[in-house]
Amino acid sequence: MQLHSFFNSSTSYRVRIALALKGLSYDYLPVNIRTGAHHEPQYVEHINPSAAVPALVDGDFRLGQSLAIVDYLDAVYPEPRLIPLDPHQRARVLELAYLVSCDMHPVNNLRVLRYLQDVLGASPEQKDAWYRHWITEGMAGVERLLARDRQGDWCFGDQPTLADCCLVPQIANALRMNCDLSAYPRSLEIYRRALEHPAFEVAQPQRQPDYVG
Amino acid sequence: MQLHSFFNSSTSYRVRIALALKGLSYDYLPVNIRTGAHHEPQYVEHINPSAAVPALVDGDFRLGQSLAIVDYLDAVYPEPRLIPLDPHQRARVLELAYLVSCDMHPVNNLRVLRYLQDVLGASPEQKDAWYRHWITEGMAGVERLLARDRQGDWCFGDQPTLADCCLVPQIANALRMNCDLSAYPRSLEIYRRALEHPAFEVAQPQRQPDYVG
C-alpha cells in the first residue's frame, strides 16, 4: 500500500492515524502541496483526479478523499473498526467527523488562507481572525456534541474511532495557530489522550519523512 | 420522522433527495438560516448541537450533518441503497460525495460569503470571483472522477447514489450563481437527468413550503 501524503495536511494526518490504528504498513510518498505538487499532471492523471492529498494506492485501486479512504480501510481491513456497524453508534461517529471535516477544516485549509492573502489582500491579522472565527464556531459545536453523546475515554467509546481521527488533527492545527481552546475541555482531554497513544503519536506531522520544521 | 430544513440549503437539499428516493414521508420543519434560526438556543440545545441545517429527528434519535443522515437512512431504511455495500463501488461514491461536500460546498456557503462581505468588506465582484474559483476547481475534479470511473446513467450506476444526492444540489447552486458549467458535460448530463426524476424534482428548493422566490 502507498499513501500520498503531506506531513502538515490535516486530511493526510487523519489517514495516517487510521492506518496506524489498524497496524497497516505502507510506503509514504510525499506530495508537497506548498509548491503545488498535487496539481502536477502526472499526479492528477494517474494518482488523484481530485488534485489533493491524501491519496491511497492499494494494488490497482486508487482512492482520494480522506474519509472515503478510512471507510475503505474499514471495509477491507476491518480490525479494529473505526466506524461502528450499529446505525446509531455509527451516526454519532460520522456526525462529529463531518462537523470537523465539512464545517471546520475546509474553510481554514492552505488553499483558502492563500486565496484570502494573495487575491483578497487580507492582512495577517485578518487571516488570523478568519481562522479563529471558524475554529471557535466549530469547536463549540464539537464540544456540545461531546457533552450530549460522549461515551468512554475517546469521543464515542473506549477505542478511537473516525471521530477521533478527525478531531485530533484539527485540534493540533488550531493549537499550532495559537488558538485558545480552554473552553472545550472534553475535546482537549481527548487530544491529550491521543498524544500518548502510539498510533496517534507516529502519525504526527513531525514524525513524517517530509517534515520541515 | 421530521426534517429541519431550509429550502435553499444545499445540505438540506441532499437529504430531501435521499428521503424522496427512499419514499419516506416526513414533517418539514423550516429553519430560516438567513435570520439565524439555527443559532437559537432551543434549536441548538434540543435539535442540533452543530447549529446548522439539516437535522433529522427519527423517534427519539436526533441527527445533524447531511452525510451522516444519509448514511443513517441507508442503515435503517435500506431500500434503495444510496451507498453501495461493495467496498470499491462504495469508495467511488463516497470519493465524489466528499469532493463536493468537503472541498466545494463549505467554502461557498452562506456563512462564508457573509463573512467575506461583512467582515472583510469584499465587493460583490470579489464575492463572485471567490465563488467561481472554488466551483471551477471543484467541478474540474468532479468531471475528472466521472471521466475515469463513471458507470451507467448516473454518477456510478443505473440508480442514483449519494454521489448524485450531493452533485445535483451543488450544480443547481452554481447555475443559480450564473456559473458557466459547459466544460463539465458529464456532470451536466447527470444534472439534466435529475431534473426529470420525481425524487429530485420534489426535493428542489422551489418545491419546499418555506420557499421564497
Q: Would you say residue A204 lies in a domain?
A: no
Of B65, B80, B95, which residue sits at a domain end? B80
Q: What total of structural domains would you count in chain B? A: 2
Domain shared by B93 and B73, yes or no: no
In this prediction, residue B213 carries a pLDDT of 87
In this prediction, residue A206 carries a pLDDT of 97
Domain shared by B95 and B188, yes or no: yes
Q: What is the CATH number of the domain that holds A49?
A: 3.40.30.10
Q: Which residues 107-126 of chain B have a CB within 8 Å of chain A?
A: 107, 112, 115-116, 119-120, 122, 126
Chain B residue with minimum CA distance to A54: B95
Domain shared by A160 and A102, yes or no: yes
Chain A residue with minimum CA distance to B129: A119
Asked if residue B77 has pLDDT above 90, the reply is yes
**Using CB atoms, which residue from B64, B65, B141 is nearest to A49?**
B141
DSSP state of B196: T
Closest CA to B205 of B180, B177, B175, B173: B173
Task: Say which residues have a Cβ less than 8 Å from residue B61's Cβ, sequence separation at least 6.
Answer: A88, A91
Q: What is the CATH number of the domain that holds A192?
A: 1.20.1050.10
Q: Which residues 61-100 of chain A have a CB within 8 Å of chain B?
A: 61, 63-68, 71-72, 75-76, 87-88, 90-91, 94-95, 98-99
**Each residue's pLDDT tens digit, A129-152:** 999 999 999 999 999 999 999 999
Host domain of residue A10: 2-80
Of A23, A58, A80, which residue sits at a domain end? A80
The alpha-carbon gap from A68 to the nearest alpha carbon of chain B, in Å, equals 5
Domain shared by A54 and A147, yes or no: no
**Using CB atoms, which residue from A90, A99, A107 is nearest to B112?**
A107
C-alpha cell at B57: 429527528
Q: Would you say residue A207 lies in a domain?
A: no
**Each residue's pLDDT tens digit, A11-69:** 999 999 999 999 999 999 999 999 999 999 999 999 999 999 999 999 999 999 999 99
Domain shared by B92 and B195, yes or no: yes
Distance CA A190, CA A68 (A): 23
pLDDT band at B98 (very low <50, low <70, confident <90, very high): very high
Q: Which residues 123-182 of chain A have a CB within 8 Å of chain B?
A: 126, 129-130, 133, 137, 140-141, 144-145, 147-148
Find chain B residues with C-beta within 8 A of A54's C-beta. none
Domain shared by A185 and A101, yes or no: yes
Closest CA to A144 of B56, B52, B31: B52
In this prediction, residue B72 carries a pLDDT of 98
Domain shared by B26 and B122, yes or no: no
Domain shared by B115 and B45, yes or no: no
Domain shared by A110 and A126, yes or no: yes
pLDDT band at A197 (very low <50, low <70, confident <90, very high): very high
The alpha-carbon gap from B79 to the nearest alpha carbon of chain A, in Å, equals 15
Q: Would you say residue A205 lies in a domain?
A: no
Distance CA B171, CA A60 (A): 31
Distance CA B67, CA A57 (A): 25
Of B80, B98, B125, which residue sits at a domain end? B80
| Rounded (10°) CA dihedral A78, A80, A86, A89 | -140
Domain shared by B91 and B194, yes or no: yes
